[in-house]
Amino acid sequence: MRLQDERGRLAYGRREGTGLEQWSRSRADRLFDIVNMLIFVLVTLIVLYPLYFILIGAFSDPNLVSRGEVWLYPKGLNFDGFERIFSNGYIWTGYRNTIVYAALGTAISVALTITAAYALARKDLIGRNVIMFAITFTMFFSGGLIPTYLLVRELGMVNTMWALVLLPAVSVYQLIIARTFIQATIPEELFEAASIDGCNHTTFFFRMVLPLSQAIIAVIVLFNVVFHWNSYFPALIYLRDRELQPLQLVLREILIQSQSSDMSGGYFEDTAEQQKLAESIKYGMVIVASLPMLVLYPFLQKYFVKGVMIGSIKG
């Protein structure tokens, strides 16, 4: 009896200890989750509030914005900035050109990047390491702006759309992650099995590699669309015709005009009023330029994460 009582006390103690340990661990987990949630909320506010402030500032009275009275919601609704932006006749031309450049440039980039990545991923390609080294070398060293401009001029691409879509057609970074993806995802045995049935590299690429590479293709498409949509410096260097200018250059011209005293034409009472309208135009320009990307990003952000992860794994 005494032995049975001792065993019962030990079993009860173990059960009590286990329950206490679980309760303590559960409380620590809850505390950890609360701290993580608070940090997440703080970081989210730090990232999103500037975008929200630009949004409400674009629709608020510039005088109230300059005095710091606009914080949480628009005050003194004002659309002068948007009216000045959309009164420019080239705004829709800029939208059209940017869409064309983004679509055509992305198509060319995807075609060149995927085909080059597949070729460099093949182990039977003679000299592939040397070729890859030469390509990677250009990622760190380049000829510079002046030699590039001279080359573009000699090719007859100055003041043409081809200077904007062909120069950035192949990104070394995207080529590396595409090559890594193909090496890690498509095994060599798959081509060997297909070649037994008489499949060559062209057929294998179109019927096997492309369907299995939809994830990396989506990543490259997204990267290139964002790049072409936000690009302005190549257009500033190579384009002269206003009918060819992308949206970013049109918005830049509107901003410069809004800050010029020649634009007042009696509308502004003084320089202070002109500067306030210029600030309102700045907020409106950010919204006009970023709205399409902001709408698409929540639906496509997973591809950004996937592209980073693909590039971090060596196949």
- pLDDT, tens digit (0-9, with 9 covering 90-100), for 58-115: 788 777 777 777 778 777 777 777 777 777 778 888 888 999 999 999 999 999 999 9
Strand, helix or coil at 148? helix
H or E stretch at 36 = helix 2-58
Tokens of 21: 């340990």
Helix segments in 145-246, DSSP class H: 145-154, 162-165, 172-185, 188-196, 201-204, 210-212, 214-230, 233-238
Rounded to two decimals, what is the model's pTM? Answer: 0.73
Whole-angstrom distance, CA of residue 113 vs CA of residue 109: 6
Strand, helix or coil at 78? coil
Of residues 117, 110, 148, the one with CA closest to residue 135: 117
Question: Highest mean pLDDT range out of 50-59, 239-248, 291-300?
Answer: 239-248
H or E stretch at 46 = helix 2-58
Strand, helix or coil at 81? helix
- Core vs surface per residue 157-180: b (16+ CB within 10 A) or e: beebbbbbbbebbbbeebbbbbbb
Residue 160: is its pLDDT beyond 80? yes
pLDDT, position 188: 82
By CB atoms closer than 10 A (0-12, 13-18, 19+), residue 312 is: exposed
Summarised one tens digit per residue, pLDDT across range 204-219 is 888 888 888 888 888 8
Neighbours of 149 (CB within 10 A): 15
Strand, helix or coil at 314? coil
Of residues 119, 105, 108, the one with CA closest to residue 178: 119
Q: Is residue 88 left, alpha or beta, with left meaning phi > 0 and alpha meaning psi from -120 to 50?
A: beta
Percentage of the chain surpassing pLDDT 90? 13
By CB atoms closer than 10 A (0-12, 13-18, 19+), residue 314 is: exposed
